[in-house]
Structure 1
Amino acid sequence: MSSAAPIPTVDDIAAATTDLLRGWVVRTVPADAARWLDTEIDRQRNTVDERRLGTALGLVGRRLGGTGLSLSPDDVAAAQVLHRRWQPHIWGTDVAGRVALLLATWRGDEEAFAAHVDRLCATGELTEHAACLKGFAVFPVPVRLLSRARAAIRSSVQPLFEAIACHNPYPADRFDEAVYNQMVIKCVFSGVPIGTIVGVDERRNDELVRMMRDLASERRIAGRLLPDAVHEFIETHHPGRASISVPSTEK
């Protein structure tokens, strides 16, 4: 009788995710761009170089462009083995490259990795910041990223808000009910399709539906209707049904 397969560690998952991203980008971009990314990832895996990391993250757009990854169903399935509900098929080569570079700095030191992420969010230009937020879908130590994720939800910069709110499993997995509800209402208010919010059906709760009904009523009085998908969400709610529980995010 064979023994059970070993449970992958955080280190294993970070390495495998980096390799997936690198492979997808390398097969999409020209050979010289692929060599550049390989070199930069290997450099960070060998010895974390903060100065070089910052330079590489800034060069990604010029070196890799923003071409879609064109993933196959097998690619997406492999991604979701590592990270449930990850949606890399909407990422471009620039996002994948930046996330891979950041993951290559992972050494099992939660504080150091969170500091890299926080620094990029604080000092990176808009596309770098947005790519970093999209990376919350796959980054280790998700609890340490909560303050940045919440800041993105409060942001008035739409690309930053959408980077965390849309096609990203992080909020569904990590936000408490109040913060998740706030995010969903802001999506509806700002015209973001509700279907882009990961886990919105399983995180449905009485308070969220009440808030949506209030918003729908306000819009109706103003002569502005909400999308059909929002009304369907409201109408299919069963009061009192328990929403999915989210683990404590305090640390």
Structure 2
Amino acid sequence: MTEWLKQAVRDVERDPETVHRLFPQATRRGGAGARAALLKALVRAAPEPLERVSTLYWQGDAGERREILEALGDLGLGAGALPLVRDALRANDPRLVAAALGPYGSTWLDDHSFRQGVLKCVFMSVPLASVAGLDHRLDAELLRMLAGYAAERRAAGRPVPSDVLERL
């Protein structure tokens, strides 16, 4: 942990409001994992951590949003952060969609939303290996949806992604 990050974590633990100033610069100044460390400090220190994390997400750029989504599984926020995941699943940025289907999204999304997210990954050429818990959540309905997608691709004379074929 860099000296900058150590001080930033102490600052957030002392005054959670400082996260708004520190979070945007965290990766540049604190290195990989710095934003996750600040989020953990925020959750420990803030009286309403879900509200604070949500505010950072809604005010953040795509990179900040992605890192928040990736960290959600380690923050202990329960199902409360699902609106952030649902927002990311509506995005056109494949990095956000992939992050939305990380460990947190895979744990908390209902079956219908999870299935739709997996199909969106397929449509966006996001490797299915990036979907956390896919093998555990792969059910008959998702298999049916993937088979339908594969049939449409074949009918159009287009290739079917190999990671889809592996699951059929």
Is the structural similarity TM-score above 0.5? yes
Q: State the partner residue of 1:59.
A: 25
Identity of aligned residues (%): 30
* 1:44-123 pair list within 5 angstroms: 44-48=12-16, 50=17, 52-65=18-31, 93=32, 96-107=33-44, 112-123=48-59
AA aligned to 1:98 is: R
C-alpha separation between the residues in 2 aligned to 1:41 and 1:146? 25
Where does structure 1 lack aligned partners over 5 or more consecutive residues? 1-25, 27-33, 66-92, 235-251
Q: Tell me the CA shift for residue 227 of structure 1.
A: 2.1
Q: Residue 95 of structure 2 is aligned with which of 146, 159, 172?
A: 159
Greater relative contact order (Cα < 8 A, sep 6+):
1
Distance 1:109 1:36, change over 3 A: closer
TM-score normalised by length of structure 2: 0.92
Runs of at least 4 residues off by over 3 Å: 107-110
The answer as to 2:107 corresponding to 1:170 is no
How far did residue 104 of structure 1 move? 0.4
Q: Which amino acid aligns with 2:25?
A: L
Partner of 1:37: 5
Q: TM-score, normalised by structure 1?
A: 0.63
Between the aligned partners of 1:223 and 1:143, the Cα distance in structure 2 is 41
Amino acid aligned to 1:97: A
Q: Distance in 2 between matches of 1:192 and 1:135?
A: 19
Q: Which letter maps to 1:40? A: A
Q: 1:135 aligns with which of 46, 56, 71?
A: 71
Residue deviations 1:116-167 (CA, integer Å, cap 9, x gap): 11111111122111111111121111211011111111212222212222xx
In 1, Cα distance between equivalents of 2:156 and 2:107: 35
Larger relative helix fraction:
2
Q: Which has the larger radius of gyration?
A: 1
Q: How many residues are treated as equivalent by the alignment? A: 168
